[in-house]
Amino acid sequence: MKIDPLADALSNIYNYENARKPDCVIPASKLTGNLLRIMQKWGYIGAFEFIDDGKNGLFKVELLGAINKCGVIKPRTPVKNSELERWEMRYLPAKEFGILIMTTPNGVMTHKQAKEEKIGGILLAYVY
C-alpha cells in the first residue's frame, strides 16, 4: 500500500539512479508530473513520458546520473519568502547547489523562482 506517491516516486528515482539504471517507471499523478517537469528543466533527469495503464497511469523517466540525493520534505512545511534561506541551509549541501521544490499560489516551482517572485509556499522536495 502506497501512502505518499511523491515520496515513492522520488525514492524510486534515487534508488534506480544509484543502481546506474537508464530509466525507471513511477506511478503518475499531477503533482509528480509537475515535479518531473522541474527536475527535467534543471537537468536532473532526461525525457519522461506518460504511459496509460488503464488506472492512474505511469511515468517512464530517463535517468542521466545527475542526482546525488533527492527526497521529500516531511512534514510539508509552509514557508514565508523571508525564511527560504534557512530551509535552503537545512536541506541543500551548499549555497546555489541544488533546488528546493515548493508549491505556491502561482503553481509548483523552485525556491529560486519563489525568491524572485517574492512569494512563499509549502516545501515539497529537495534535489541536488
CATH number of the domain residue 99 falls in: 3.30.1490.10
Residue 124 phi/psi, 5° resolution?
Answer: -110, -50
Q: Are residues 19 and 48 in the same domain?
A: yes
Range of the domain at 110: 73-127
- What are the pLDDT tens digits along the chain (128 aa)? 478 999 999 999 999 999 999 999 999 999 999 999 999 999 999 999 999 998 889 999 999 999 999 999 999 999 999 999 999 999 999 988 999 999 999 999 999 999 999 999 999 999 99
Question: Could you tell me the three cell numbers for 108?
Answer: 509548483
Instruction: Identify whether 28 is part of a domain.
Output: yes
* pTM of the predicted protein model: 0.92
28 and 49 within one domain: yes
- For residue 32, give the CATH number of its domain: 3.30.1370.30
- Name the residue among 31, 22, 44, 61 with its Cα closest to residue 124: 31
Answer for the pair 120, 79: CB distance below 8 angstroms, yes or no: yes
Answer left, alpha or beta for residue 20, where phi above 0 means left and psi between -120 and 50 means alpha. left
Query: At residue 125, what are phi and psi to the nearest 5 degrees?
Result: -155, 165
As for how many domains the chain has, the answer is 2
